Chain A
Amino acid sequence: MFLQPAVVALLGKGLALTIALTVITSVLATCLGVLVGLGRLQGRRWLSVPAAVFVETFRNIPALVLVVFFAFALPNAFAPPLRRALFFDNPITHALAALTGLLAPWYLLGGALGLTLNTAAYIAELFRAGVGTVAREHVDAARSMGASWGVVYRKLLIPGGLHAAHPAITSRLIHNMKNTALLSFVSVPDFYGAVLTAISRSFQAIEFLLLAAAVYLVLSLGMSAGLQAAARKLFPTPRRPA
């Protein structure tokens, strides 16, 4: 049997890291994506132009390039003492090292940053398209009844945009979960990284790769079902056509 206790512990830790990474980057990317998407809708150019540049940059650069750039390349841009202080030897990395047991937690942080920016750029576009389906008349009606823009955004535009865009956002978040496997390339021991380690120790490649495939399938299908259930809870009424 290829699953020895030590290997199970290794894979379990990896799986926990993959799930934690998925949850944290998904939440951050959704919030950031909504903000950037709203920024793109603004009439003021100093808001809409940077938002558009953000979207086009982080959507058109592959996730792996972003991950490698932030994790491995960015620290090299600084002189050694500053590099140590910024990326490898400060309270944040110490805390993270204590929490995860990693020797260089920056690789995890930088990789997560790359994933978050990539996913946020996609979500910003999806959300912007979703807001476009909110009827202009509803906004005008709310405004003429004295609602402030803050209320219009909070009660009408943001929920409406998320409601219209949620199927696409769901599939993007599942994509984000699959992209966490890219962090193994910057020596983060996520589930896929743990699988690679287990293979290099045991040379039983096929067994571990098939196990990994099963786990990622369960994660994908589970995430899809979970997010659909959450959407049904959040948006119980079917959308009326605008």
Chain B
Amino acid sequence: MSDHLAFLWRQLPNLLVGFPQQRPGGLVLSLVLAVLAVGVGFAVALPVGSGRLSPRRTVRGLALAYIELFRGLPLILLLLLVHQGLGGRRFGLDLSPRQSAFIALTLYTSAYQAEIVRAGLQAVPQPMLDSARLLGASTWQIFWRIQLRYALRVMWPAFVGQAISLFKDTSVLVVLGVGELMTTARAALGSDIRNAAYWVSLYLLVGLLYMVVALLASQAARRWEQRRTSTDLVHSLANA
């Protein structure tokens, strides 16, 4: 038991921030990659999700194809497709595993977020849009100032869920050896047969780390949501 704890204690800093003398990795890298991908993914999801509701058929079709494509593929496959396809010899981009991982995560999460954006935009009550139109607002004004503002409130919990889900999905990046938590766990065990006894305890710790971060994030989001909804005018209108 004590040798297990000693092993875990020795490896804990590696799991959290990566190995010394290497680039930062471990849990910190998992978090950074997930947050960046969700942020950039939102920028992609906004036009794609709005495109799903476009009056033009081709736009609707393209947006739907984008969503079905990147939601229909396993992330583990998307990673290799980006790394070998975009980063391969034929396409000519020389992507590092980290860059490929970031691109694949962004494509993956943007498809899920686009569906959230669509649902959020659809939740905006029609009378609100009609009144804005009657007051003389232009289409873009209505979109940015009314539809999106309202929809963001509706979308918020789903976005948090998607971000947490993507954070857990970063574990798949181990197939590219990106250096995030799962990769450091595998490297910590290495191929040393004497470490075989530590597999269970190390993966329990890794699971615990993922779980603690996910639970803390959802708790914090809920707390923030509760505090904000009590003072938010748009939200009280939405739930009236």
Q: Which residues of A approach B to under 8 Å, CB–CB?
A: 56-57, 60-66, 68-69, 72-74, 76-77, 178-179, 181-182, 184-185, 192, 205-206, 209-210, 212-213, 216-217, 220-221
Alpha-carbon distance A229/B71, docked complex (angstroms):
20
**Contact indicator A73/B76 (Cβ below 8 Å):** no
Question: Does B130 sit within 8 A of A, measured CB to CB?
Answer: no
Alpha-carbon distance A205/B90, docked complex (angstroms):
11
Q: Taking each of B88, B175, B199, B215, which has the highest tally of chain A beta carbons within 10 Å of its own beta carbon?
A: B199
User: Known interface pairs A73-B200, A213-B73, A216-B77. Does A206 touch B90 (Cβ–Cβ under 8 Å)?
Assistant: yes
Alpha-carbon distance A181/B75, docked complex (angstroms):
9
* Across-interface contacts of B77 in A (CB, < 8 A): 181, 192, 209, 212-213, 216
**Contact indicator A76/B200 (Cβ below 8 Å):** yes
* Across-interface contacts of A65 in B (CB, < 8 A): 171, 182, 203, 206-207, 210
List CB contacts (< 8 Å) of B23-77 with chain A. Answer: 68-69, 71-77
**Contact indicator A209/B210 (Cβ below 8 Å):** no
Choose from B88, B168, B199 the contact partner of A62 (Cβ within 8 Å): B168
**Contact indicator B76/A192 (Cβ below 8 Å):** yes
Size bracket of the B interface: 35 or more
* Across-interface contacts of A61 in B (CB, < 8 A): 168, 207, 210-211
Choose from A56, A64, A221 the contact partner of B174 (Cβ within 8 Å): A64
Min CB distance A105 to B, Å, is 19
Secondary structure dominating the interface of B? helix
Choose from B76, B88, B200, B210 the contact partner of A181 (Cβ within 8 Å): B76
Choose from A64, A178, A192, A205 the contact partner of B182 (Cβ within 8 Å): A64
User: Known interface pairs A66-B207, A206-B84. Does A184 touch B72 (Cβ–Cβ under 8 Å)?
Assistant: no
**Contact indicator A73/B171 (Cβ below 8 Å):** no
Alpha-carbon distance A60/B71, docked complex (angstroms):
21
* Across-interface contacts of B197 in A (CB, < 8 A): 76-77
User: Known interface pairs A65-B210, A182-B76. Does A206 touch B169 (Cβ–Cβ under 8 Å)?
Assistant: no
Question: Does B240 sit within 8 A of A, measured CB to CB?
Answer: no
Min CB distance B94 to A, Å, is 15
Alpha-carbon distance A212/B73, docked complex (angstroms):
9
Alpha-carbon distance A206/B92, docked complex (angstroms):
13
Question: Does B132 sit within 8 A of A, measured CB to CB?
Answer: no
Question: Does B85 sit within 8 A of A, measured CB to CB?
Answer: yes
Count of A-B contacts judged by CB separation below 8 Å = 99
Alpha-carbon distance A61/B75, docked complex (angstroms):
17
Question: Does B233 sit within 8 A of A, measured CB to CB?
Answer: no
**Contact indicator A60/B204 (Cβ below 8 Å):** no
Question: Does B214 sit within 8 A of A, measured CB to CB?
Answer: yes
Secondary structure dominating the interface of A? helix
* Across-interface contacts of B169 in A (CB, < 8 A): 62
* Across-interface contacts of A60 in B (CB, < 8 A): 168, 210-211, 214-215
CB-CB nearest in chain B for A180: B74
* Across-interface contacts of B76 in A (CB, < 8 A): 181-182, 184-185, 192
Alpha-carbon distance A216/B210, docked complex (angstroms):
27
**Contact indicator B172/A73 (Cβ below 8 Å):** no
**Contact indicator B210/A62 (Cβ below 8 Å):** yes
* Across-interface contacts of A217 in B (CB, < 8 A): 68-69, 72-73
Min CB distance A123 to B, Å, is 15
Question: Does B80 sit within 8 A of A, measured CB to CB?
Answer: yes
**Contact indicator B90/A76 (Cβ below 8 Å):** no
Question: Does B81 sit within 8 A of A, measured CB to CB?
Answer: yes
Listed by A's residue number, 21 A-B pairs whose Cβ atoms lie within 8 Å are A62-B172, A64-B172, A64-B174, A65-B203, A65-B207, A66-B207, A69-B203, A69-B207, A73-B202, A76-B199, A178-B72, A181-B77, A184-B76, A185-B174, A206-B88, A206-B90, A213-B77, A213-B81, A220-B73, A221-B68, A221-B72
**Contact indicator B74/A72 (Cβ below 8 Å):** no
* Across-interface contacts of A68 in B (CB, < 8 A): 203
Alpha-carbon distance A66/B182, docked complex (angstroms):
12
* Across-interface contacts of A210 in B (CB, < 8 A): 81, 85
